Structure 1
């Protein structure tokens, strides 16, 4: 029996020490996975090591109820990592997005000829989530570029992004609407966001 097989067997028996050792042995693999799903805009405001530490702590505290009959230890850790990344994104960016929306509403109310609230909604949401306070002066430029970048995506990519980031639908619901699997939608969204980040690289806020 290999070391991995021995550790997995102990983990399935709910051995916390075996799980801690497994995480240590596979730390590079787990770190690579977390980095691949995090995105540079989030890594600009949080440390990768902190995310790994949170994943490890969550796994260790939740080992007693982990669905290890359905997933391998690594698959389970990756599920936890996805949730941690989503939580981190909400913590760092949701308040900014809401505040940005309120500022626009106030501006629109004060301007008789203001645009409708839905005008540029997707561009504003995504620009806000990728914009740091220090880059506020360039927000209009980024929004213009964001609009161009979104227009360059396929209709399917645009639909998925709008359903996820404007309507706030979970990926399973988006999959049902677009006739795809949940996994396919997750891949589509991830690829689309990477394309947007790449197209906006020259106006990315500095760290």
Structure 2
């Protein structure tokens, strides 16, 4: 009776390639999305996704070209998420302000500032503060981890606060 042979884990090949492939994958993503934080997030998603994919029985050999292909798919997923966020924001019902003395001018300035923010900041702030969703549900809606969503909310609040004060809000 022959003993079963353990197949070597292909993730070790990925680990050996990591240091040389990281700058190429990051550079590929950064040149296409133009945003460092998005490129960093997509690079980490690429390598995490590659670990799972390379362990499949029909996976091709691990190489930089294969990793760029994984990155291309992650970038396409990001663009699709972003489009869904934009679409979702257009569908959100704006609240009815009936009493002009309850800060309507501030609400108008806030809406204008929110409209000028990037789609990812606008989506996160709207889901969290306009729709009142908890962070874990915001993360789920945006297709992000809770940790990444918390970081996004910090950046979004900072951008909003700065733009709001420049616009003349209190």
Shorter-chain TM-score: which interval? 0.3 to 0.5
Structure with higher Rg: it is 2
Using structure 1 for the length normalisation, give the TM-score.
0.37
TM-score by length of 2: 0.43
